[in-house]
Structure 1
Amino acid sequence: MLYSKTKWHSPVADPVQSRELARRLSVSPLVASLLAARGMAVPEEALAFINAGTEEEHDPFLLKGMKEAVPRIKKALQEEEHILVYGDYDADGVSSTSLMIYLLRHLGASFDIYIPHRSGEGYGLHNHALDWALQQGVSLIITVDTGISACSQIAYANELGMDVIVTDHHEPPEVLPAAYALINPKLPGCPYPFKGLAGVGVAYKLAQALLDGKVPEEWLEIAAIGTIADLMPLLDENRAIVRRGLKSMRRSKYAGIRALLEVSAVSVENVDAVNVAFAVAPRINASGRLDHAGRAVSLLTTDDPVEAERLAGELDLLNKERQMVVERIVAEAISRLEERIKDGRLPGIIVLAGEGWNVGVVGIVASKLLERYYRPVIILDIHPETGCCKGSARSIPGLDIYEALSSCSELMDHFGGHPAAAGMSLHLDNLEAFTSALEEFALGVLTDEHLVPVTEADGEYALADLSLKAAEELELLAPFGMSNPLPKFIVREAVVKETRTMGQGNRHLKLVLQQGGATVEAVAFGKGELAELLPPGTGIDVLAELSINEWNGSRKVQLMLKDLSVPQPQLFDFRGVRDAAGRTQRLWNLLLPQTGGRQGLAAAVVRKDWLKEQELPECQGMTFWVYDQYNGISPVDNLPGEDDGSHVSLLCLLDMPETTQQLDALLQTFPEVENIALLHSLRQERERLLVPTREQFKMLYKWLAAIAAVPVPEQEALLRLSRKSPMSLRMLRMMLDVFEELDFIRREQGQLSFVTRPAARDLASSSHFMRLSELAEMEQYFMEGSPSELQEWMESRRLGAS
């Protein structure tokens, strides 16, 4: 039994609505059910969504402040004023700044740009930057993706005689800055119908207003990058911006975009929103995280292919460096956390701080720890000289991290954010109190239910529904991103037909799944270690995305596995493995972390002499047991608390039972075991027991009549018998036990003698015969039986013993 990493939840689409959509729109039942499940059950709404394009554009002058901003910018153009574009260092800020450069170049403006350094200056407007702008002769500042909260800075700009036009999309504060114009769809009283624009989307609307709607189509490529990278909802106008932007990008004339796609190993002709999110955006963001975002702006605005290639290469190297920095900090953070939680109890909110933890990547580190532990996480970088701690938080749906920070605001110098993510700074002296206050807050908010991650799926389907035609038709719903995610499908009761690993170090998993007459290949990146838990024949449930695999002109459907589970108990066959203890540790690591929030325990069972030969592997939460001649099975003195084995979910047999009584005791001791791993060594065939037959006993009786007519040393008799018989010495000894019990032979002082004319006795009346039969049957299953045969036989023993 293998538990999924998350709990899967899927809506149930109304079948009547789905059928009507399929009929009215001429789409497949699968696409119709997806539209209905996503709230587009009315055919007209669904059709508008599918055909999203220019009709989704809203009048830019509906944005509050646009009517004041446009004349002021036109005046600056006419009077040849020097304009400053003030941006931000993330991908949205870089895109917004780049779009404004194209706009001001197009208008023939005199301008400069300014983007603050992430670690050296931090987010937002800064007075020293305004002083620099004044020295450059700037009289008009246009902010992009920033400025809506910069009250004091804009007041300072006004004192210096510079007008400020703010274009932003962040949540406006209660007190707004006294700017010449504020353009933000989220402003109170703003009639703009769509509130989900990115910063670059607001900049694009400004360009539309200044150019009377005649914006070059290729500028949408820049707008699409920022919209996708900033995780804006791909609905309404954003859907049109991204769809048209991607279409233009597939034949892009921008040297920078082409170079960026090439260095990201993305085909220009086939680029989609997923490529932008996971290949393009991280490289742009790497510039602002580890260097200065100006390098990314230069890339997006150059028309020189040679310079573009150089800059794209630099961003790629910065991204690789960013990945290594993140990996290092994640490893250090996990190590510190594991030392802190040796009792196994995670804090409600994980707070970790360290020197040299690059403040530009602490948000990524927090996200990775959240994914691993599913707890709200705060990662802080400590300045070694000042003791200032700057960090980022990421949270789960059950806890509003902004509310949590607000509850201890007096301990911080600054903080801000929203329910899912936040940033903060505080002094090292307050770190312990800060951590304790957040832990106390979490105790009052989080329940066990909150700590089980949930993945939203789009429905349960059969493999036959996930056809090549269905995969092709999904493009009607693209582009995919926030608020319009790539569909995820649940398939239950599929069967694994083939299992293999692929990629460097066998990191990835590839399965062939079958359900009824349908067979589909499935790939799970980073899950290669699960291959040994999914042998052919395993029943499996999967959560997957649907894709098309193209190779050498051939196109076939392929599932991209996001999660999987095996809903029935499993028996893993590692018989004869060399390092049984090491494999036990590996299984522990693979199986128990997958228990979906359950507190799983593991047990390993060995012979007593095994303990003398080897040291017990150190596995926290694993108990060790030994086979016992009298009690069947007994614990080694390492049981946690009063645990009696009833909660064990993983049972590792490092040795097979020596008697059927021990097997029955094993099955009774671990009644709720979900997975059993066979790790025992295999006896040489010559040493194994055979299920005894009457013919074998008849033959042995004849040989004994000849060999032991007069008393003979038993050892000598055994050697002579072994030369005549293919049976092992173990088998022969146990057969002699049967004959002795039936008075067919006598054993005295090491001598063995044959009894002539014994009383007739039935073999079945011998307890030794019954023991040999049972033991030989058990050994045959444990040594030679297939996993399914052994599992079925053990289950029959369990039922018989219960």
Structure 2
Amino acid sequence: MAPALQRRALAGTPHGWPAHVHPVLQRVYAARGVLCPADAEHRLARLLPPQTLGGLERALDLLETAIAADRAILIAGDFDADGATGCAVAVRGLRMLGARRVGYVVPNRFEHGYGLSPALVASLDPAPHLLITVDNGIGSGAGVEAARARGIQVIVTDHHLPGERLPAADAIVDPNLPGDPFPSKALAGVGVMFYVLLALRARLRARGAWGAREEPDLAALLDLVALGTVADLVPLDFNNRVLVEAGLRRIRAGRACAGIAALAEASGRSAATLTAADLGYALGPRINAAGRLEDMSLGVECLLTDDAGRARELAALLSGINDERRGLQAAMVEEAEAMVARAADSDAVGVALFDPGWHAGVVGLVASKLKERLHRPVVAFAPAGEGGGELRGSARSIAGFHIRDALAEIDARHPGLLGRFGGHAMAAGLSLRAADFARFAAAFDAVARERIGAELLSPVLHTDGGLAPGEFELALAQQLRVAGPWGQAFPEPLFDDVFECVGWRTMGERHLRLDLRDPRDGRTLQAVHFGGHDGQPPPTLLRAAYELGIDDWQGRTRLRLSLRHRQSA
């Protein structure tokens, strides 16, 4: 569905910017609520203090005791990039703070299911004294009970929205608990774990734990925090931008951990110029692929090793798995589009799709692609195991429709229909009996119809307006590249203008390279439109929404527009 182009309004008048900050960047910032230099100063000194996080004191008591008594601590991660980076941050950070017996476990998607499940707890041999969840656990009541029945103390650290009942853990740290006073609700799971470590270091500092020794520098973990935060698509509010920018600075300065350096190399990115987009579109998917198709322990090991050679081996292995994931995803998306085409007479607002041959690790990507193309909330399902009796689904939503709340509404209206479910406003996961798929599809569509107004079903692409002829310059593109970090809820600058297409050719089967002339001054600009070839020539006169990008292929550096959308002018 073609979007309508709509220019963003400024939140106020930019003021106080030094002369070297380009007026276009000032305008871009103002459209995102950043009106003065102080609002863009992403210094670590401006990071929110951890003391207001609820549940911290009890969690710190347990951690301090476990470290002092040299008890076994086990980190229970998750099978996505947020969970993997959070697991690595927990293991590295606790070792830095004096814990000597720290290990980790990551559930197998097909053997244990999601999060801290009873099956995962039963597999722990030997059982640890203390178990800490990262990026999961808030919906794992049965798993927490199973752990405590084995005499294991449990700290839940999570960022997902809780259900009606909280797990009976020994401590819970989650900024999204009702009434939690922490000002930012946008922390990723890795961010929550990093905050726990900051608070633990402060507690140990007050105890005089370091003596004359130098205090551990937890900033060494920020490259991992940045990767997990961006990859999990949490909103980049000011606090998250501070975390991500600090992590990017470490990477660009050559101080990344061996695994992140190897992942950047394997993806063809230069660490010296790495951006948040590179974390989200190049490094993150390589980590995620392990959890989708293989064993997320491969991703965690890549992030934990300090051996550069071993990191390269693991990064190459992860890249191969990611290539396999791409092929599988392409086939599944094609099948999903065919399903939608066959149901062309359907007017479903909430779309549910299932194929018995689909892979449960890839359905989230299928839901995401279909959501973009249909501009409808989509839930894609695959068999949860070989028996086929249970389905595992992944949901993606559109702006204005809170997908996790929608699932809660379905659960309330149809008790027993859903198994486990949880997530955020824009993404969620759930389980379901295969025999109940049709019932769920009808219930999901009914809730979507009630909650989604017609205006939300028409996609809108927001832009930062046009550029003057003299503003198409490499220096501005370079300033925009590092001015973010750009990401979820703080989008990369996107402009729109009318051009004459004076030349074009295909790249591969789906991409276009274009020569665009600015009719105002006659200057010809190079452009690319990835995925933009539909088999037809581009219109001679077109309106394009584009990013002011940089082409640095083979060491050359030049301006290049990257088109996100084009239409006849």
- TM-score by structure 1 length? 0.64
SS of the aligned residue for 2:537 comes to helix
Report the counterpart of residue 336 of structure 1 in structure 2: 339
Residue 144 (structure 1) aligned with residue 134 (structure 2): yes
Counterpart of 1:378 in structure 2 is: 379
Q: Match of 1:437, as an amino acid? A: A
Query: Quick check: 1:507 aligned with 2:511?
Result: yes
| Pairing 1:113–2:104 present | yes
Residues 592-607 of structure 1 mapped to structure 2, 5 A cutoff = none
Alignment of 1:238-637 (within 5 A): 238-250=240-252, 251-252=254-255, 254-341=257-344, 343=345, 345-382=346-383, 385-397=387-399, 399-405=401-407, 406-407=409-410, 409-410=414-415, 411-446=417-452, 448-475=454-481, 477-491=483-497, 493-496=498-501, 498-505=502-509, 507-517=511-521, 518-529=523-534, 532-534=537-539, 538-550=540-552, 555-567=557-569
User: How do 1:91-106 and structure 2 match up within 5 A?
Assistant: 91-106=81-96
Using the TM superposition, give the Cα deviation of residue 37 of structure 1 relative to its aligned residue in structure 2, in angstroms: 1.7
Letter paired with 1:37: A
Is 2:160–2:422's contact at 8 Å kept on the other side of the alignment? Answer: no
* Structure-2 separation of matches of 1:187 and 1:446: 26
Pairwise CA distance, 1:376 = 2.2
User: For residues 655-674 of structure 1, what are the structure 2 equivalents within 5 Å?
Assistant: none
- 1:272 to partner: Cα distance: 1.2
Aligned-residue offset at 1:158: 2.9
1:205 aligns with 2:195: yes
Q: Separation in 1 of the partners of 2:348 and 2:128?
A: 51
1:476, distance to aligned residue in structure 2 (A): 5.7
Superimposed CA distance per residue, residues 14-73 of structure 1 (whole angstroms, 9 cap, x where no aligned partner) = 7x824x455x665322122222221223xxxx3123321122223223322222222321
Residues 509 and 526 of structure 1 are in contact (CA less than 8 Å); yes or no, is this contact kept in structure 2?
A: no
Answering whether residue 2 of structure 2 is matched by residue 5 of structure 1, we say yes
Percent identity for Structure 1 against Structure 2 = 34
* CA distance in 1 between partners of 2:144 and 2:386 (Å): 33
Pairing partner for 1:34 from 28, 36, 56:
28
Q: Post-superposition shift, 1:559?
A: 1.4
Question: Is 2:65 the counterpart of 1:65?
Answer: no
Residue 166 (str. 1) matches residue 156 (str. 2): yes
Q: CA separation of 1:548/1:385 partners in 2, compared to 1, >3 Å: closer, same or farther? A: closer
Cα distance in structure 2, aligned partners of 1:263 and 1:109: 32
| Aligned-partner Cα distance in 2 for 1:125–1:269 | 38
**Which letter maps to 1:481?**
G
Per-residue CA deviations over 1:278-333 (Å, capped at 9, x if unaligned) read: 01000100001111111101111112233222211111111111111111212222
SS of corresponding position for 1:246? helix
CA distance in 1 between counterparts of 2:2 and 2:432 reads 35
* Distance in 2, Cα, partners of 1:59 & 1:307: 36
**Compared CA separation, residues 384 and 80, structure 1 to 2 (3 A):** closer
Structure 1 residue 224: deviation in Å? Answer: 0.8
Task: Please report how far the alpha carbon of residue 128 of structure 1 lies from its aligned counterpart in structure 2 after TM superposition.
Answer: 3.6
Q: Compute the displacement of 1:544 (Å).
A: 0.8
User: Structure 1 residues 64 and 276 mapped into 2: Cα distance closer, same or farther (>3 Å)?
Assistant: same
Q: Contact conserved, 2:422 with 2:430, CA < 8 A, in 1?
A: yes
Q: In the aligned structure 2, how far is the partner of 1:481 from the partner of 1:112?
A: 32
CA displacement at 1:447 relative to structure 2: 5.2
1:551 deviates by 5.8
Q: What secondary structure is seen at the aligned counterpart in 1 of 2:181?
A: coil
Counterparts of 1:173 and 1:442, CA distance in 2: 20
Tell me which amino acid in the other structure corresponds to 2:308.
P
CA distance in structure 1 between the partners assigned to 2:275 and 2:219 by the alignment: 17
The residue aligned with 1:673 is none
AA at the equivalent of 1:229: A
Shift of 1:108: 4.2
399 and 164 in structure 1: CA distance in 2 versus 1, 3 angstrom threshold: closer
CA distance in 1, matches of 2:5, 2:189: 33
Equivalence for 1:192: 182
In structure 2, C-alpha distance between the alignment counterparts of 1:290 and 1:314, rounded to whole Å: 12
Distance 1:414 1:137 in 2: 25
Q: Which moved more, 1:223-232 or 1:391-400?
A: 391-400
Classify 1:404/1:468 alpha carbon distance in 2 versus 1 (closer, same or farther; 3 Å): same
Are the structure 2 counterparts of residues 146 and 25 from structure 1 closer, same or farther at C-alpha, using a change threshold of 3 Å?
farther
Partner Cα distance (1:123, 1:515) in 2: 55
Assess if the C-alpha contact under 8 Å between 1:10 and 1:460 holds in 2: no
**Secondary structure at the counterpart of residue 129 of structure 2:** strand
Structure 1 runs (4+) greater than 6 angstroms displaced = none
**Distance of 1:178 and 1:414 partners within structure 2:** 17
What's the TM-score once normalised by structure 2's chain length?
Answer: 0.89
Compute the displacement of 1:563 (Å): 0.7
The one-letter code matched in structure 2 to 1:151 is G
In 2, Cα distance between equivalents of 1:412 and 1:66 = 32
Paired with 1:447 and 1:235, the residues of 2 have a C-alpha distance of 27
Counterpart CA distance in 2 for 1:364 and 1:400 is: 18
Match of 1:676 in 2: none
SS in 1 for 2:172: strand
Q: Distance in 2 between matches of 1:132 and 1:445?
A: 42
Q: Is the 8 A contact 2:160 2:424 kept in 1?
A: no
SS at match of 2:382: strand
Q: Equivalent residue of 1:532, what SS?
A: coil
For 1:283, what is the secondary structure of its paired residue?
helix
Instruction: Give the structure 2 partner of residue 635 of structure 1.
Output: none
How far does the alpha carbon of each residue in 1:330-389 deviate from its partner, in whole angstroms, 9 at most, with x for none? 222222332233x5x543232221112111110101111222222222211135634322
CA contact (8 A) 2:333 2:370 kept: yes
Moved more, 146-155 or 358-367: 146-155
Q: Is the 8 A contact 1:87 1:145 kept in 2?
A: yes
Q: Secondary structure at the match of 1:141?
A: strand
Deviation at residue 256 of structure 1 after TM alignment: 1.7
* Compared CA separation, residues 21 and 565, structure 1 to 2 (3 A): farther
CA deviations over 1:377-417 (Å, ceiling 9, x no partner):
22111356343222122222354444544235343333333
Q: Tell whether the 8 Å contact from 2:286 to 2:318 is kept in structure 1 after alignment.
A: yes
Distance in 2 of aligned mates of 1:129 and 1:442: 34
Superposition deviation, residue 564 in structure 1: 1.3
Secondary structure class of the residue paired with 2:185: coil
**Greater mean alpha carbon deviation, residues 62-71 or residues 114-123:** 62-71
Which residue identity lines up with residue 530 of structure 2 in the other structure?
F
Q: In 1, Cα distance between the equivalents of 2:163 and 2:451?
A: 26
Q: 1: distance between equivalents of 2:311 and 2:357?
A: 32
Structure 1 residues 63 and 291: alpha-carbon distance in aligned structure 2, compared to 1, 3 A threshold: same
Q: Is the 8 A contact 2:229 2:244 kept in 1?
A: yes
Aligned match for 1:236, one of 229, 235, 238? 238
1:132–1:402 CA distance, 2 compared to 1 (3 A): closer
CA RMSD of aligned residues (A): 2.5
Superposition deviation, residue 480 in structure 1 = 1.0
Q: Which residue of structure 1 lines up, in the alignment, with residue 226 of structure 2?
A: 224
Unaligned runs of 5+ in 2: 203-214
Question: What letter is aligned with 2:126?
Answer: Q
Is the radius of gyration larger for structure 1 or structure 2? Answer: 1
Rounded Cα–Cα distance in structure 1 between residues aligned with 2:82 and 2:307: 23
Q: Secondary structure at the match of 1:94?
A: helix
Secondary structure of the residue that 1:245 maps to in structure 2? helix
- How much has 1:475 moved relative to structure 2? 4.3
What SS does the corresponding residue of 2:398 show, helix, strand or coil?
Answer: coil
Deviations 1:659-704 (A, max 9, x none): xxxxxxxxxxxxxxxxxxxxxxxxxxxxxxxxxxxxxxxxxxxxxx
2:210 maps to what in 1? none
Q: State which drifts further: 450-459 or 499-508.
A: 499-508
